[in-house]
Structure 1
Amino acid sequence: MLREATTDDVNLMLSWRNQETNRQVSKTSHEITAAEHAAWWSRVRTDPTRRVLIYLHDDRPAGVVTFFDLRQDGPQRTASWGFYLDADGLAGRGATLPAWLGVMRAAVDHAFDVLALDRLDGEVLADNTVVRQMNRRFRFVEGTGRRETHDGREITVVPISLNRDNRRRR
């Protein structure tokens, strides 16, 4: 289940985002400061092209889903998305895989059923083979990777997309 993020969630979101597991698979790999995070929150919470949602697993906050570059007018309704989980907390409870499947399902459902998108876009690091496999399981299609430099490291970023018609239904 997803719910709107609130100011009460800001510190929790920052603690999850700064977990080593999440930083390793993100374009931005440095530890996010409280000031950086507060500036981000200030921007996104009033931006009509963005949505920040909290993922609940077993009725407990367990992750963040963001939708951005939301285009809901025009011939094709699109957005980009990303997510991260409370990797440490879920691992400690033995709930990583069920939460991961759950957040992917919830995000895809939200994109197509709530936001009424035609296409959902995203990115994944090329060396994140586990996420790439999961994306394929959910029928995301990969584009051609591109080299980028972030936080002093060279990475290959692979674009992904999922069209409404190709979505896996439960």
Structure 2
Amino acid sequence: MLRTATEADVDIIRRLRNQQANRDVSITSHEITADEHAAWWAKTSKDPSRRVLVYERDGATAGVVNFFDLEGTSGAWGFFLDADGLAERGETLPAWIEVMREATAYAFDELGLDVLTGEVLEHNAVVRQMNRRFRFVEGTPEVRYADGRELTVIPISLRKQDRRKGK
């Protein structure tokens, strides 16, 4: 289930984002400080072009979905899961499929988007494979530098009419 993030979620959002597994596949890989996170939340929570949603599984916070650059019928997204907690419970794959299904439905059915974009790091083969399963198309890779690393970032996009529909 997806729900709008609130002030009460800010600490857990930061804790999940700082899990090593999430940092390893993010453009910004450093550990997010409390001050940095508070500044992000203060700006993000008031920005009409953004939505931050909490993904809950069996009543517990299991991830975060960020929509940004929402303009007209297009927008971008990203998400991260409670990698440690889900792995411990053996729920990573079903949670991953569920959050992607719910987030793409939210983008197209709730936000009214026609095109959903995002980015994935080239070395993140597992996410790239899952994106293809959900019919995202990869664009031309781009080299960037962040946190002292050279990264190859691949843009992805999904058009509403191309999305997978639930059963």
User: TM-score, normalising length from structure 2?
Assistant: 0.98
Q: Does 1:97 align with 2:93?
A: yes
Query: What's the counterpart of residue 58 of structure 2?
Result: 58
SS in 2 for 1:92: helix
Distance 1:87 1:128 in 2: 15
1:21-32 → structure 2 map (5 Å cutoff): 21-32=21-32
Query: What's the counterpart of residue 13 of structure 1?
Result: 13
Distance 1:124 1:14 in 2: 20
Shift of 1:82: 0.2
1:1-170 → structure 2 map (5 Å cutoff): 1-72=1-72, 77-170=73-166
Distance 1:98 1:89 in 2: 13
8 Å contact kept, 1:145–1:158: yes
Deviations 1:100-148 (A, max 9, x none): 0011001000000100100000000000000000000000000010000
SS in 2 for 1:168: coil
Shift of 1:59: 2.3
How many aligned positions are there? 166
SS in 1 for 2:104: helix
8 Å contact kept, 1:57–1:102: no
SS in 2 for 1:16: helix
8 Å contact kept, 1:55–1:61: yes
Deviations 1:50-72 (A, max 9, x none): 00000011221100000000012
Q: Percentage identity across aligned positions?
A: 62
SS in 2 for 1:48: coil
Distance 1:106 1:9 in 2: 19
Distance 1:98 1:108 in 2: 16
> Counterpart amino acid of 2:102?
A
> Counterpart amino acid of 2:23?
R
Distance 1:58 1:169 in 2: 23
